[in-house]
């Protein structure tokens, strides 16, 4: 008998569509990072319409990733996020436990200015003990995904934004980025965000970026 070749398991992409936390849980607070005294609300609820939009984008992204041979886990597959104790610590742990090649957090933006529009990608700053283990890979992923999603959608490129204050990054042990897919407070962009065709474009852009970052 020839030796069996153990095929490495395909890379797992952890999709984290934002929000959807029951309000009573969302109002609770949690530590912004391991050992921190700084507490932050679990889920402020997000921009108007955001939770439903980002779930649909995540579902489409999942379909395309599976087609390409990735494994996929999602922190929520329905309107409500119920994993663990809720909140962003739980979201990070969900992806950590699955040893994800990437935690891809999908959000939409809001602004008091209705003219604000475009796409940006957030990534963790390099903080010793919290994100020093994921900083470089997260930044690589952020660059790849931001470039690809702007090409796929033609949206305004708002660039990359380093963040020190995102609980979901600070608890992550796997590369982690957060894509703000557009402004629901901009009427024209919201119409797009709520159209099937544009959601597929967003998903294609996300997947093209993932593919540049990690092979299945």
Interface positions with Zn ion (CB under 5 A): 18, 46, 107
Q: How far is the CB of 166 from Zn ion (least distance, A)?
A: 10
Q: How far is the CB of 19 from Zn ion (least distance, A)?
A: 6
Question: Which whole-number Å values give the CA distances from 57 to 51, 68, 136, 172, in the listed order?
Answer: 10, 17, 26, 22
Q: How far is the CB of 178 from Zn ion (least distance, A)?
A: 8
Q: Which two tokens stand for residue 126?
A: 């390099």
Nearer to Zn ion, 141 or 178 (CB): 178
Q: How far is the CB of 71 from Zn ion (least distance, A)?
A: 25
Nearer to Zn ion, 48 or 159 (CB): 48
Nearer to Zn ion, 60 or 107 (CB): 107
CB of 48 closer than 8 Å to CB of 110: yes
Nearer to Zn ion, 105 or 201 (CB): 105
Nearer to Zn ion, 18 or 86 (CB): 18
Nearer to Zn ion, 33 or 46 (CB): 46
Q: How far is the CB of 110 from Zn ion (least distance, A)?
A: 8
Residue nearest to Zn ion (CB): 107
To the nearest 10 degrees (0 to 180), the angle between helices 196-213 and 50-67 is 50
Q: How far is the CB of 107 from Zn ion (least distance, A)?
A: 3
């Amino acid at each position: 008998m020839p030796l069996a070749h153990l095929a490495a398991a395909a890379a797992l992409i952890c999709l984290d569509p934002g929000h959807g936390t029951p309000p009573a849980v969302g109002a609770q607070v949690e530590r912004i990072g391991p050992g921190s005294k700084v507490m932050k609300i679990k889920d402020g609820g997000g921009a108007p319409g955001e939770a439903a939009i980002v779930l649909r984008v995540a579902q489409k992204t999942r379909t395309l990733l599976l087609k390409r041979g990735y494994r996929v886990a999602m922190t929520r597959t329905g309107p409500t996020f119920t994993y663990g104790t809720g909140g962003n610590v739980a979201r990070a742990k969900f992806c950590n436990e699955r040893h994800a090649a990437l935690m891809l957090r999908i959000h939409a933006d809001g602004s008091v200015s209705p003219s604000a529009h475009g796409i940006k990608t957030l990534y963790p700053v390099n903080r010793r003990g919290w994100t020093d283990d994921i900083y470089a890979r997260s930044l690589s992923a952020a660059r790849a995904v931001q470039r690809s999603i702007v090409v796929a959608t033609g949206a305004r490129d708002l660039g990359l934004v380093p963040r020190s204050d995102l609980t979901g990054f600070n608890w992550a042990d796997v590369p982690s980025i957060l894509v703000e897919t557009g402004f629901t407070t901009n009427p024209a962009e919201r119409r797009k965000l709520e159209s099937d065709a544009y959601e597929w474009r967003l998903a294609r852009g996300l997947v093209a970026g993932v593919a540049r970052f990690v092979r299945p």
